[in-house]
Amino acid sequence: MSGNENPAATPVDLPVDLPVSAPPPSLRPRPAGAPRSVPSRPTGVDPIVDCAVYVGGKRHAPVPAHDSLRVATENGGFVWLGLFEPNEEELTSIAERYGLHPLAVEDAVYAHQRPKLEHYDDALFMVLKTGRYVEHEQLTATSEVVDTGEVMVFLGASYVITVRHGQHGGLTDLRSRLEEQPDLLALGPSAVLYAVADLVVDNFVEVAVAVEADVEELEASVFASDRRDDIGRLYQLKRELMSLRRAVSPLEVPLQKLAEKQIDVVPDAMRSYFRDVLDHAIRVRDQVGSLDELLSSILQASLARSSLADNEDMRKISAYAGIIAVPTAIAGIYGMNFDHMPELSWRYGYPLVLLLILSICLVLYRSFKRNGWL
C-alpha cells in the first residue's frame, strides 16, 4: 500500500476547536539537547488532515472534530483522527480531550523515536519509521538514498490517532482504500493500526528492492575492467543502508507483541493480520541484512582491488627504476674522469658501452615482462 497525503488540505466540513494552552504539569519538558523535529507544515495550516467517525465499518456523517469522540462512543464506533506535525500546544489540547498519556504525547511531539510499542492502561502507543527511496541519476559519495520519517499511532477502544512527521508516508489514499473494506474497519481501531503498519512495511519492501539495484550497480563497477574509485560511493550507500536497517529491524518486536500477546484493544481476529505484517517485516529485515553483508563484502573487495592496483603500480615503478639504474650506474662510473679507465682510448669504446647498456636494459625489460612486473 502507498499514499500521498497533502498536509495543506484542510477539510471544510471539520471545524476545529484547538485552544492554545500551556502543557499540563504532567507533560515533561523537553530535555536539554534532545533533538526536536524540524516542522515542514506551513505556518497557520491546520494540523488535522482528516477526522472521521466509523460505525460498523462505514464512515459516519461528518461531525465537528471536537465532538467526534462523543459521537463515536454513543454509536459504538471509533474515530480516526489524522494529524500532520502538530506542535506541543495543539497535541496537548487533543490529548486532554482523548485522555492520551503525557509521555506518549511528548514522544509524538518531538519525534526522532525508534520503532516501539508501549501500553498505557487501556491504550496503545506505537511508533513506526517510514521510508522512501530517493531517486538519483547516479550514485555519488554524497547521494541521499533513503529518506525516513515517522508515524505515531495512539490506539484506544473508541479512537485511533495517527501523527505523521516528514513529507512522505501520507495516509489519505490508505484511508480511502480502507473505507472500501468495511468488513476490516468493522474490527475496530486496530484495523487502522494494521493498515498503517502494513503500508510502512510494504514501502520498506520497495525501498529495499531499489537499494538492491544500487548495490548491484556498485558491484559491477567494482569488478569492471576499467579502474574506478568506488570507496566513497560504497561507504555512502552503506550509511544509507544502516539508516534503513535502523528503521526496519526494531519493528519485529512490536509486531510480534501485536500478533501474539493478548491486548484488550486488539481483537483476536486481528492477530492473523499482524502476523502477516510481521512475516513481511522479517523478510525485509533479512533482505536488508543480506544487502548490508553483501555491501561489506563489496567494500572489502574494492579495498583489496585498490591495494592490488597499488602493488602493481609499485612493481612497475620498481622495474623501471631497476632498468634505469643500469645506464645511471655506468654513466656515473665513467663520469668520475679517472685517467686509467678501460676503453677510454679505444676508438670503439663509446659505442661498445652504449651497446652494453642497451643489451642489459633489454634483458632486464624482458625479464620483468616475463614475470608480470611490466
Strands 78-84 and 159-165: parallel
- Domain range spanning residue 352? 311-370
125 Cβ partners below 8 Å, 6+ apart?
100, 101, 104, 107, 108, 117, 118, 152, 153, 154, 155
Residues 320, 211 share a domain: no
Residues 338, 270 share a domain: no
Can you tell me the mean pLDDT for 39-58?
80
pLDDT score at 18: 38
DSSP per position, 351-367: HHHHHHHHHHHHHHHHH
Residues 359, 337 share a domain: yes
pLDDT score at 309: 74
The number of angstroms, rounded, from the C-alpha of 13 to the middle of its chain's C-alpha atoms is 37
Residue 170's pLDDT band (cuts 50, 70, 90) = confident
Q: Is residue 24 part of a domain?
A: no
* pLDDT tops 70 at residue 342: no
CB atoms within 10 A of CB 338: 8
Greater model confidence, 25 or 254: 254
DSSP per position, 91-151: HHHHHHHHT--HHHHHHHHH----SEEEEETTEEEEEEEEEEE---SS--TT---EEEEEE
Residues 136, 260 share a domain: yes
Phi, psi of 78 (to 5 degrees): -145, 160
CA angle 107, 45, 82 (to 5 degrees): 50
Give the closest residue to 158 by CA, choosing from 60, 262, 24: 60
CATH code assigned at 227: 3.30.460.20
Residues 350, 247 share a domain: no
4 Cβ partners below 8 Å, 6+ apart?
168, 170, 172, 173
Coil, helix or strand at residue 46: coil
Residues 189, 333 share a domain: no
Element of type H or E holding 220: helix 189-222
pTM metric for this prediction = 0.74
Q: Which of these three, 305, 335, 361, is where a domain ends?
A: 305
Q: Give the residue carrying C-alpha cell 502543557.
A: 23
Residues 282, 148 share a domain: yes
pLDDT score at 17: 39
Q: Which of these three, 276, 305, 334, is where a domain ends?
A: 305
Q: Is residue 169 part of a domain?
A: yes
| Cβ proximity of 295 and 213 under 8 Å | no
| Cβ proximity of 132 and 144 under 8 Å | no
Average pLDDT for the chain: 82
Can you tell me the mean pLDDT for 42-66?
86
CATH code assigned at 327: 1.20.58.340
* Residue 127, CA distances (Å) to 42, 108, 165, 266 in order: 24, 8, 11, 16
55 Cβ partners below 8 Å, 6+ apart?
72, 75, 76, 77
Cell numbers standing for residue 52: 472521521
Can you tell me the mean pLDDT for 42-67?
86
CB atoms within 10 A of CB 278: 23
Residues 176, 97 share a domain: yes
Strand partners, 118: 125
Greater model confidence, 170 or 146: 146
Can you tell me the mean pLDDT for 63-88?
92
Question: Count of domains in the chain?
Answer: 2
27 Cβ partners below 8 Å, 6+ apart?
88, 92, 102, 105, 106
Q: Is residue 217 part of a domain?
A: yes
Residue type, 322: G
Strand partners, 52: 80
pLDDT score at 127: 94
pLDDT score at 9: 39
Residues 183, 145 share a domain: yes
Q: Is residue 16 part of a domain?
A: no
d(CA 98, CA 184): 24
Residues 168, 86 share a domain: yes
Residues 316, 167 share a domain: no
pLDDT score at 301: 84
| Cβ proximity of 146 and 132 under 8 Å | yes
Read off the pLDDT of residues 205-219 as tens digits, 9 standing for 90 and up. Answer: 999 999 999 999 888
d(CA 193, CA 160): 8
Residues 280, 145 share a domain: yes
Q: Give the residue carrying C-alpha cell 516542522.
A: 39
Q: Please tell me what DSSP assigns to residue 342.
A: T
First to last CA, the chain: 58
Q: Is residue 33 part of a domain?
A: no
